[in-house]
A and B are shown apart, each in its own frame.
Chain A
Amino acid sequence: IVLTQFPDFQSVTPKEKVTITCRASQSIGNNLHWYQKRPDQSPKLLIKYASQSISGVPSRFSGSGSGTDFTLSINNLEAEDAATYYCFQSSNLPLAFGGGTKVEIK
Chain B
Amino acid sequence: EVKLVESGGAVVQPGGSLRLSCAASDFPFDAFAMHWVRQAPGKSLEWLSLIIWDGGSSYYADSVQGRFIISRDNSRNILYLQMNSLRPEDTGLYYCAKDTSRSSFYYIDVWGRGTTVIVSS
Contacts and interface: CB of A to CB of B under 8 A. Distances in A.
B27 interface: no
Interface string B42-76: 00111100100000000111100000000000000
Interface in A19-40: 33, 35, 37
Contacts of B92: none
A42 interface: yes
Contacts of A37: 45
A42 B45 contact: no
Main secondary structure of the interface of B (DSSP, over half): strand
Interface residues of A, number: 20
A54 B5 CA distance: 23
Contact of A45 (B37, B45, B109): B109
A42 B47 contact: no
A86 B62 contact: no
A89 to B, nearest CB: 9
Contact of A100 (B35, B45, B62, B105): B45
Nearest to A37: B45
Contact of B108 (A45, A49, A93, A98): A45
Given A33-B107, A42-B95, A88-B107, A93 B44 contact: no
Contacts of A42: 95, 111-114
A52 B37 CA distance: 23
Interface in A49-64: 49
Contacts of A97: 37, 44-47
Contacts of B112: 42
B108 A94 contact: no
B62 A99 contact: no
A67 interface: no
Contacts of B109: 45
A46 B59 CA distance: 25
B35 to A, nearest CB: 8
B59 A86 contact: no
Interface of A: 33, 35, 37, 42-45, 48-49, 86, 88, 90, 93-100
28 contacts: A35-B45, A37-B45, A42-B95, A42-B111, A42-B114, A43-B108, A43-B111, A44-B111, A45-B107, A48-B107, A49-B107, A86-B44, A88-B107, A90-B106, A94-B47, A94-B59, A94-B61, A94-B62, A95-B35, A95-B47, A95-B59, A97-B37, A97-B45, A97-B46, A97-B47, A98-B44, A99-B44, A100-B44
